[in-house]
């Protein structure tokens, strides 16, 4: 079964295709929140880790990281902030964003344009524990508070 069958029917899924819908890839976006006080991540505090579990029946690939609703402009002096996706023992096993640029503009990093790149492995195995780390900038007066969303593509 292909996604083409569904798209050629203008979004209407034919009854005969319903039994195959679980075979299609799907994307899930996780909103990373350090705490409910700032509703985002404070990149000048320390590294903020969030652990997610992938489905037991699907492999995954991280395809996008968005940094948005910046409430404190990013400033780096020694190293810039970034977002890494790893396996708990290797912080960037599955990828890392380019440096988050100074300023208060929203930013997007994708596997499609190369701004989110694979470090060691592109594909996350089923039933894995994945650690998303918002890596703090370092140096004097390093700063940055923003919301972070990470999107995974799940597939067979």
pLDDT grade, residue 4 (50/70/90)?
low
Question: pLDDT, tens digit, for every residue of 28-85?
Answer: 999 998 877 778 999 987 899 999 999 999 999 999 999 999 999 999 778 999 999 9
Computed from CA positions of residues 133, 152, 73, 115, in that sequence, does the dihedral angle turn out positive or negative?
A: positive
Question: pLDDT, tens digit, for every residue of 85-138?
Answer: 999 899 999 999 999 999 999 999 999 999 998 778 989 999 999 999 999 988
pTM: 0.87
Phi, psi of 55, rounded to the nearest 5 degrees: -60, 150
Q: What is the 3-state secondary structure (H, E, C) of 36-99?
A: CCCCEEECCCCCEEEEEECCCCCEEEEEEEEEEEEEEEEECCCECCEEEEECCCCCCCCEEECC
CB neighbour class for 119 (10 Å; exposed up to 12, middle 13-18, buried from 19): middle
Instruction: Kindly state the DSSP code that residue 78 receives in the 8-state scheme.
Output: S
Q: Which residue has the higher pLDDT, 4 or 106?
A: 106
The CATH code that applies to domain 25-155 is 2.60.120
């Amino acid at each position: 079964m292909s996604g083409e069958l569904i798209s050629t029917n203008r979004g209407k899924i034919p009854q005969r295709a319903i039994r195959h819908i679980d075979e299609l890839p799907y994307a899930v976006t996780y909103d990373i929140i350090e705490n409910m006080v700032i509703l985002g991540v404070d990149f000048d505090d320390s590294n903020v880790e969030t652990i997610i579990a992938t489905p037991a029946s699907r492999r995954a690939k991280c395809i996008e990281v968005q940094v948005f609703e910046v409430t404190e402009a990013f400033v780096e002096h020694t190293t810039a902030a970034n977002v890494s996706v790893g396996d708990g023992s290797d912080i960037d096993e599955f990828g890392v964003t380019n440096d988050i640029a100074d300023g208060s503009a929203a930013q997007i990093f994708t596997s499609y344009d190369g701004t989110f790149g694979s470090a060691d492995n592109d594909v996350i195995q089923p039933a894995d524990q994945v650690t998303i780390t918002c890596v703090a900038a370092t140096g004097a007066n390093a700063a940055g508070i923003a919301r972070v969303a990470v999107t995974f593509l799940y597939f067979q």
